[in-house]
Structure 1
């Protein structure tokens, strides 16, 4: 592992553990007031599950519980509301930054134990009036059966008008990690999710034999290939968007490969190691994932510290900041050169993913994995 990669991932992993530990203490405080209503597994998704949370990252989370009574369900709601309120109070008291409202807060778009969106989110996304006044999209302190039922419903009814509201939640259910509580409940959920995703998928290209999970793996990779926001910037551009233009494409492609090859790991670093171990990713190609992601993550951490916000725009070394950019991170010459090199690796990775999805989507002929072959510099 490269030193800068080790430092960036270690910093984020350490912060994730501290954040989760703090959340656990808040719940323990509430259990002394209400008594713990039932057994549970507090699960985290997104950057928290990947061990890549920064001080300004919010927390995507939900709670798996066994079958319980309505009274117990109401108690869980009181506990979740109390914890969320304490987090909101901490967040409101923080110094205003470039992007206030991040850090020490649950996801504002419904991927939280209450399944509730904020008023601002509702005003922005509820044009069709599909969300009720309580602002709950789906109760995410729930049984494994109910949570995976939402997953099944999402895929079974693609024309459901509420589907777009649940996309973020569904994504979180599919890649989550146990944080605290009873890990057995998390494992039961993962098994149920794998069963749902293991069903035969709708036709992908001209290949109808893919499971949902494999299909989603290819789709995740296609997003990285085709989304203009995920393409690396033009050489020596003034402004670089570290998360979107450097980190996202390798992350989505690793996730896609992990889903395609039925790997349970959630963190990008663990997925990369597992793919290498299985022979699905050759070391000569893995080095480009490490280069692209580790440099982007190192700069991302630095940007968050400098701006005190979840702010990923940075200035190249030769740029003189204007008044609006005075709080941004300005790269030094070495960082600028390293990011330029990382951008070249991102371009290679996107090209390999394009080869992979084209090959795997064929109805006939040999399907191969270019990632598993040595990369020879021509």
Structure 2
């Protein structure tokens, strides 16, 4: 057992105590429900957003929960796919873009250019895969460093950001050849400590939701092009239908989850059912949402008010008198909704710990909030231990796939 990766273990009770009384009760209720479902052979799905889940180690924790069989399906964003292809987190150094000779009209705000910090073996491996601009690298190494940070991997830094863009086209070609989603093909080469890699090892579906297709540059576009939107929506519907508990983590625009074209309880599935298409219902499922927005809990407390507004054809925001995000509509009206108001970096390790302990499952990784020393150590471990997509392994899988 890799006890050195259980970063959150000594902080579980500290994290629990940092939540208010209602969130502690909601978290306990969510854990009990997950345990009940898993004990009877049921399934759990996680719906993740982008940056916070990567930075707080939540996606790495979800990968561990997939490995031990506690998470059975994941939907996420194209940005998360991009970051996991890059190894989740990496270390970059920054230099002045003007001094580097870059066109400032093409630079992001701040006028800094980023380089990925890698070892000699990693540079050598990358040179065998793609041409590198040695002159650019040499100029960058001569300039004063404007900062060195850990950030979401494979994004804006050279050369790993560019590598992701190049891989996007290659993966898209394979996905279209085999009739698979981009995410499945990328998973063939992703590190097993990413959600994509762990899911591939366990045969667990991971799919980007349609509202979260925008992001990750060329990777996001390639994900969208890999299978038709309607096919993606149907695949997501079947994933949701198969699961008893749905956990939403730092994600926006989840109307496809609650309000999708094939869902009949809070969504628009009635007409799909008339057309004799596959439909499902959220009626008896549990929806857990980990969120910082107090209005989410307030919306659930206003369940009857929100439903009455809908029954009268009135706008929900005006009746509820709170800022009303799109996804609150169905979540607020669903009897099985459990809002947990708190920092995902603190809520997730407690939830994972409690569920695993109740089921007698041994975890080899437990995340910690990045604002703690343990969380900082966790981020360093992720940079060092979780590797970028292995292109050779992916191509070997493609060669033998049937």
User: What's the TM-score once normalised by structure 2's chain length?
Assistant: 0.28
Which structure is higher in RCO with an 8 Å CA cutoff and minimum separation 6? 2
TM-score under structure 1 normalisation?
0.29
Q: Which has the higher strand share?
A: 2
